[in-house]
Amino acid sequence: MKKLLYYLLLIFCTISTAYTQIDTNQSSAFDVDDFLFDTEGLDDEDADLGGYNPGVMKSAEDVFSNNAAISFNIAYFKNRGIESRYQTIAINGLEMENLVLGRASHTQWSGLTRIFNGTKCYLNLSASPFAFGDIGGSAEYNIRASSYRKQLSANYTIGNGSYNHRIMLTYASGELKNGWSVAASASARFGTQLNYVKGTSFLGFSYFLGFEKKFNNRHSLSFATFGAPILQGLQANCVPEVYEMTGTHYYNPNWGWYEGKRRNARVRDTYEPVFLLSHIFNSADKKVQVTTSLGSSFGHKNTTAFNFVKTDDPRPDYYRYLPSYFDDDPEQQEWVIQQWAENEDYRQINWENLYEANRQSTALGGSSQYIIENRISQHVQVSGATSLTAKLTDHINLYAGLDVRGYRQRNFKRVSDLLGGEYWLSKDKYADTLADPMLQYYDIDYAEAHLVEGDKCGYDYAFNIFRENLWMTLLGEYKYLRFHIGLNGTMTELWRTGFMRYGAYRDEAVGNSEMFLSPNYGAKAGIAYKIDKHNTFEINGQWQTVAPVAANVFVNALYSNRFINNLKSEKDLTADFSYVMNYKFMRMRASFYIINFQDVTEHYNFYHDLYGGFVNYTLTGVNKQNIGVELGMEIPIGKMFTLIMAGNWGDFVYTNRPTASITANNGYSELTPGCKEVIHTIYWQNYHVAGAPQIAATLGLKFKHKDWEVKVNANYFDKIYAALNSERYTPEARGYLDEGSDQLNAIIGQERLKGQFTLDASISKSWKIKKHTLGFSLKVINITNNKNLVTSVNEQHRFNYMNHDGTSFPNKYYYALGTTFNFGLNYSF
């Protein structure tokens, strides 16, 4: 048994993913899925960037999540349809939430999979000892140096996902006689030659250093720092016409040839290191534990993009460059089709043309027509938390804690590359200069300034956020009964500081805004009743209010200190009911869940075709409901085989008609003559909320014998819906079209993608030779090379109001990769 545990722990610690969250206390937690690569490039839920945060927390104890977590990732599945901002993620007891995003950013510790594998997950509405716990569950990483056994290990992995190679070296001293422990890890990830998507790139490094000193049985102090600088060339989503012409679902419009190399216009550079100091106090009778953590993180997340003025759009897939734009001109259409088929300089970014345009403009004394700008986001966070775990009686535990944090994020743009030009004028190309010439300047204090590379342009502002959170949970455990009740109170203080005076918002752009105060509360309760030692019924509920995220609080956070009217906290009410069966011949969990989101606020800026300009678009009072059932099952077949099954059927819909407030964004003081604000009612009740497949199922067979493990899974995904452009669901978009007409159906018919199958297989094995251990793992995902699985699809914000034609601006898609593999080798001693 000891040997088995040793092996399991060894393999476990060897190669795992940042998102694979495993309860290390469980010997059954070993899973070859741990050999998968990290989620770099996916750590973003912005559909426009095709991002994804792991949607399912994993606990070996839970038969559903244990089998669903990895298998469903390919389809960007989200547990119960809940976004990751509803999950609580902590490290050494300190929550890692980015207060602007409202969620933790896994990128901060990506590439450190051997360090970040000691996760305890508290799924869904369970009680957790380190936080109140959001409705998407809680997870805590323990990265204290003493938690790693003494070892030195080296790992190499090759694959064809976001990057091709990963090299990792990890050392842990174990606990030394003097009470000190040291752990360190470093990794490098690189190479994109094997990738599906041309023009993407990846270069990432990661490091971790941790010390811990156990002074005695009662006091322990630990320090840890980690970071992951990453440079990444991004992909973009496209309309079907483009994918059809290029013959691939992995066409990437972001790159073009430049000086013999593929150059990507959208490059992301991320580095947000974290420092953590943590103290643990145990009472002499071990009935009380107090964990106190101080943390700090800072860093940047920069993304480059084109900017251009009064000239042709440089993006090759701009709708006016597609054959469909020339439906009335067959001759031109034929020429465009030919260009797409034969001319890579037409099909991709033509960098030389951009440089030439800038050269010509410069020769005439003008500014660059095209530039690359860098959209920079810099943050500093200081946080502190203390949590108490007290054993009040033999059956009652009290968890309580206080979390205080301050967060400042400054967002601005810099001129990154003038592309051969000499200067850049930071002006709004859509401005109504006839009404007021100053409207066109992003910075009226430096109007007509000739900006050069490195100068700020466009916008410059900061979010300042403080948040205090006090919580407590009471957990009772008896032979046949387990219950918990919890309370939570949070106060959020938020304000904006503007540093650039944009002409259209000159009176409200600079300086501090008023402070937005948002008190919020939560309560949760749950009870589990064991009918006998094999059967348990469980019911949980949670109610909470949530402050709107910073970006949704202001009319236009880029330029203005003005708050949105009638801001409300979101209200979430959720409950689940589960039946858990645990026999030798079968383990099973079946759950029914219902989640109501009320008064959600959403905010967008986009070009509105009805008003012929960019608008600030705020949706308030959005109500949503997610209901569904989960089923997980494991049936042992003999001693070596296990049949595994996990499935989710969900129905996630909008349940009301929210209100959209639209104001002119940039360049105009009024939306239309005499009209500063337009209110639209959005008729999307009972339409589906997008973002994840609402049906996901896996059926697998696992073979396990000695140190071999082989697993085959067949997966199915369905009810994948397009994210809605709310403006299509308005009378303004419908116009006078008859109900039931094909033209109206093309506008309001939400696209549902066809269900898709995938097949995965994996094999792993390790050998122990004296004190040395060698292991390998091979996992092949999507063996059948299904390239039609859509991971995200969204309706464009643009809409043809002239003809009320729902097909003028088709949906945009991201597809899951075809067959991918990971092969990992590990050596440790």
Triad 42, 48, 54: Cα angle to 5°:
25
Q: How far is CA 346 from CA 246, 264, 337, 413, 415, in A?
A: 12, 15, 10, 29, 26
Q: How far is CA 521 from CA 132, 146, 304, 377, 487, in A?
A: 11, 36, 39, 30, 8
At closest approach, how far in Å is the CB of 670 from another protein? 12
Which of the stretches 281-289, 364-372, 596-604, 649-657 binds another protein when contact is defined by CB under 8 A? Answer: 649-657
Nearer to another protein, 443 or 630 (CB): 630
- Of 244, 311, 612, 784, the one binding another protein by CB under 8 A: 612
Q: According to the binding rule CB under 8 A, does residue 699 interact with another protein?
A: no
- Of 535, 582, 605, 796, the one binding another protein by CB under 8 A: 535
Binding track over 753-782 against another protein, x by CB under 8 A = ------------------------------
At closest approach, how far in Å is the CB of 685 from another protein? 4
Nearer to another protein, 334 or 514 (CB): 334
Residue type, 27: S
- Of 736, 769, 770, 771, the one binding another protein by CB under 8 A: 736
Q: According to the binding rule CB under 8 A, does residue 332 interact with another protein?
A: no
Nearer to another protein, 83 or 732 (CB): 732
Give the whole-angstrom CA distance, residue 18 versus residue 605: 33
820-828 and 151-159: which strand pairing?
antiparallel
Which of the stretches 76-84, 149-157, 177-185, 732-740 binds another protein when contact is defined by CB under 8 A? Answer: 732-740
At closest approach, how far in Å is the CB of 539 from another protein? 12
- Of 311, 343, 512, 686, the one binding another protein by CB under 8 A: 686
Which of the stretches 95-103, 500-508, 515-523, 604-612 binds another protein when contact is defined by CB under 8 A? Answer: 604-612
Give the whole-angstrom CA distance, residue 380 versus residue 363: 43
Q: According to the binding rule CB under 8 A, does residue 565 interact with another protein?
A: no
Give the whole-angstrom CA distance, residue 689 versus residue 694: 9
At closest approach, how far in Å is the CB of 799 from another protein? 13
Give the whole-angstrom CA distance, residue 1 versus residue 11: 15
Give the whole-angstrom CA distance, residue 300 versus residue 314: 27
Q: Please provide residue 403's backbone torsions phi and psi, each rounded to the nearest 5 degrees.
A: -130, 125
Nearer to another protein, 444 or 723 (CB): 723
Cα Rg of the chain (Å, integer) = 27
Q: According to the binding rule CB under 8 A, does residue 365 interact with another protein?
A: no
Give the whole-angstrom CA distance, residue 707 versus residue 4: 9
Give the whole-angstrom CA distance, residue 668 versus residue 665: 7
Size of the site for another protein (CB under 8 A): 41
Contact between 634 and 614 (Cβ < 8 Å):
no
At closest approach, how far in Å is the CB of 738 from another protein? 8
Binding track over 484-523 against another protein, x by CB under 8 A = ----------------------------------------
Nearer to another protein, 366 or 735 (CB): 735
Q: How far is CA 403 from CA 273, 298, 342, in A?
A: 20, 18, 59
Q: Which tokens is 573 given?
A: 């009410």
Triad 65, 69, 74: Cα angle to 5°:
150
Nearer to another protein, 221 or 748 (CB): 748
At closest approach, how far in Å is the CB of 679 from another protein? 14
At closest approach, how far in Å is the CB of 786 from another protein? 27
**DSSP class of 754:** P
Q: What SS3 class is residue 452?
A: coil
Strands (E), 66-198: 88-91, 94-95, 97-98, 103-104, 119-122, 138-141, 151-159, 165-172, 180-190
| Closest CA relative to residue 200, chosen from 215, 187, 210, 190 | 190
* Continuous H helices in 206-252: 240-246
- Of 684, 799, 813, 815, the one binding another protein by CB under 8 A: 684
Which of the stretches 344-352, 370-378, 436-444, 742-750 binds another protein when contact is defined by CB under 8 A? Answer: 742-750
Nearer to another protein, 225 or 596 (CB): 596
Q: According to the binding rule CB under 8 A, does residue 577 interact with another protein?
A: yes
451-483 residues labelled b (16+ CB within 10 A) or e (exposed): beeeebbbbbbbbbbbbebebbbbbbeeeeebb
- Of 610, 660, 696, 793, the one binding another protein by CB under 8 A: 610
- Of 26, 311, 566, 685, the one binding another protein by CB under 8 A: 685
Contact between 792 and 733 (Cβ < 8 Å):
no
Q: According to the binding rule CB under 8 A, does residue 338 interact with another protein?
A: no
Nearer to another protein, 379 or 688 (CB): 688
Identify residues 781-820 at the interface with another protein (CB under 8 A): 801-804
Q: According to the binding rule CB under 8 A, does residue 115 interact with another protein?
A: no
At closest approach, how far in Å is the CB of 588 from another protein? 10
Which of the stretches 252-260, 282-290, 367-375, 726-734 binds another protein when contact is defined by CB under 8 A? Answer: 726-734
At closest approach, how far in Å is the CB of 718 from another protein? 14
Q: According to the binding rule CB under 8 A, does residue 529 interact with another protein?
A: no
- Of 1, 739, 769, 771, the one binding another protein by CB under 8 A: 739
Q: According to the binding rule CB under 8 A, does residue 436 interact with another protein?
A: no
Give the whole-angstrom CA distance, residue 750 versus residue 602: 19
Q: According to the binding rule CB under 8 A, does residue 651 interact with another protein?
A: yes
Identify residues 232-251 at the interface with another protein (CB under 8 A): none
Q: According to the binding rule CB under 8 A, does residue 659 interact with another protein?
A: no
Give the whole-angstrom CA distance, residue 265 versus residue 252: 11
What's the sign of the alpha-carbon dihedral 492, 496, 497, 499? Answer: positive
Q: According to the binding rule CB under 8 A, does residue 52 interact with another protein?
A: no
CB atoms within 10 A of CB 294: 16
CB atoms within 10 A of CB 725: 20
Nearer to another protein, 244 or 742 (CB): 742
Q: According to the binding rule CB under 8 A, does residue 579 interact with another protein?
A: yes
Nearer to another protein, 298 or 592 (CB): 592
- Of 413, 734, 779, 812, the one binding another protein by CB under 8 A: 734
| Closest CA relative to residue 424, chosen from 392, 456, 394 | 456
Q: Which tokens is 601 given?
A: 């606020």
Q: According to the binding rule CB under 8 A, does residue 731 interact with another protein?
A: yes
Contact between 518 and 491 (Cβ < 8 Å):
yes
- Of 289, 378, 750, 819, the one binding another protein by CB under 8 A: 750
| Closest CA relative to residue 219, chosen from 184, 188, 179 | 179
Contact between 53 and 60 (Cβ < 8 Å):
no
Q: Please provide residue 434's backbone torsions phi and psi, each rounded to the nearest 5 degrees.
A: -65, -40
- Of 182, 290, 382, 590, the one binding another protein by CB under 8 A: 590
Q: According to the binding rule CB under 8 A, does residue 541 interact with another protein?
A: no
At closest approach, how far in Å is the CB of 721 from another protein? 11
Q: According to the binding rule CB under 8 A, does residue 539 interact with another protein?
A: no
Q: How far is CA 407 from CA 110, 404, 667, 749, 821, in A?
A: 22, 10, 31, 42, 39
Nearer to another protein, 582 or 750 (CB): 750
Which of the stretches 58-66, 135-143, 336-344, 735-743 binds another protein when contact is defined by CB under 8 A? Answer: 735-743
Q: According to the binding rule CB under 8 A, does residue 628 interact with another protein?
A: yes
Note the residues at the interface with another protein (CB under 8 A): 535, 577, 579, 590, 592, 610-613, 627-629, 649, 651, 653, 657, 672-673, 683-687, 729-739, 744, 748, 750, 801-804
